[in-house]
């Protein structure tokens, strides 16, 4: 089976400045030779501590930032070679759910405009009535009522805002959704509801899901395969059941040991 998304030897470095009085600059390797394959219909989890390069990797896979080196193929085609109309064609097939539902939603836009914006860009031929119907259907799929169309982001709870962000990601019916720390800004009970929603939507929309988190319990809930990331590299990859029950790498063992155990 051809992977939906395939990456080979991705690298990305950033310039960092030293202390103000030193007037020096250096380079830090955020992603250092990462390769992966994500199969259609699966949930692939990437777990690691904050600052290990997870979000940089996700943004490269979506070409929100360009890699310094490496290859990316989407549905068997060279994603890095795509430009113009071909790039737009790829773009609509992959979407992202951001970490912070407050900062990722424009506070000056109403829900209808936020969720419908991708349709205006990629399907401008839709009539206003057809666009509103599609928005209402997608909001319903994430558990929100169409009555909220004229409201602004600040009028909602954090969990509701994240549902709006998920609706925006789903409106174009993408094949791949990248969920970048989708519950880290939410309290535990609301986060659990969002994870259950993502699991339901993956089945209903036949999504391929890339789930990024610093939390092993979050990844364990949804992922079928897991990659453990440390300092810009994958140190362990395998089935979620194997990696999270009998890890080989000391770093994975350390992450698992840090998960709180509930008293019996």
**pLDDT score recorded for residue 24:** 61
- Tell me the pLDDT band of 23, cut-offs 50, 70 and 90: low
With beta carbons less than 8 A apart as the criterion, state whether 60 and 2 touch.
no
- Give the range among 13-27, 35-49, 133-147 with minimum mean pLDDT: 13-27
Instruction: Give strand ranges (E) for the chain.
Output: 5-17, 25-38, 43-47, 69-74, 77-78, 94-97, 176-180, 208-213, 225-230, 233-239
pLDDT digits (tens, 9 = 90+) for 29-87: 999 999 999 999 999 999 999 889 999 999 999 999 999 999 999 999 999 999 998 99
With beta carbons less than 8 A apart as the criterion, state whether 168 and 113 touch.
no
**pLDDT score recorded for residue 213:** 92
What count of other Cβ atoms lies within 10 Å of the Cβ of residue 62? 21
Q: What percent of the chain has pLDDT over 90?
A: 74
Query: Closest Cα partner for 234 from 37, 1, 68, 43?
Result: 37
- Tell me the pLDDT band of 101, cut-offs 50, 70 and 90: confident
pTM, 2 dp: 0.91
pLDDT at 94 over 80: yes
**Cα–Cα dist 194/209, whole Å:** 14
- Written as six digits, the tokens of 76 are 């068997």
């Amino acid at each position: 089976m051809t992977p939906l998304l395939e990456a080979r030897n991705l690298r990305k470095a950033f310039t960092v400045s030293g202390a103000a009085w030193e007037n020096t600059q250096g380079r830090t390797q955020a992603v250092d030779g990462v390769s992966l394959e994500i199969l259609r219909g699966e949930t692939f989890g990437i777990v690691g501590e904050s600052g290990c390069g997870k979000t940089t990797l996700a943004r490269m896979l979506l070409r929100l930032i360009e890699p310094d080196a490496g290859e990316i193929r989407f549905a068997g085609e060279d994603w890095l070679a795509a430009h113009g109309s071909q790039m737009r064609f790829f773009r609509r097939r992959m979407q992202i759910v951001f970490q912070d539902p407050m900062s990722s939603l424009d506070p000056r836009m109403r829900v209808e405009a936020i969720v419908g914006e991708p349709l205006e860009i990629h399907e401008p031929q839709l009539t206003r009535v057809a666009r509103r119907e599609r928005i209402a259907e997608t909001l319903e799929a994430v558990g929100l009522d169409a009555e909220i169309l004229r409201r602004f982001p600040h009028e909602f709870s954090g969990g509701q805002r994240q549902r709006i962000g998920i609706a925006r990601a789903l409106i174009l019916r993408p094949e791949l959704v990248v969920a970048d720390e989708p519950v880290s800004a939410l309290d535990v009970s609301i986060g659990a509801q969002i994870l259950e929603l993502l699991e339901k939507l993956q089945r209903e929309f036949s999504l391929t899901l890339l789930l990024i988190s610093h939390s092993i319990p979050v990844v364990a809930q949804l992922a079928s395969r897991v990659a453990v990331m440390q300092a810009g590299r994958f140190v362990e990859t395998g089935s979620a059941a194997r990696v999270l029950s009998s890890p080989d790498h000391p770093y994975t063992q350390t992450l698992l040991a840090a998960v709180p155990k509930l008293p019996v």
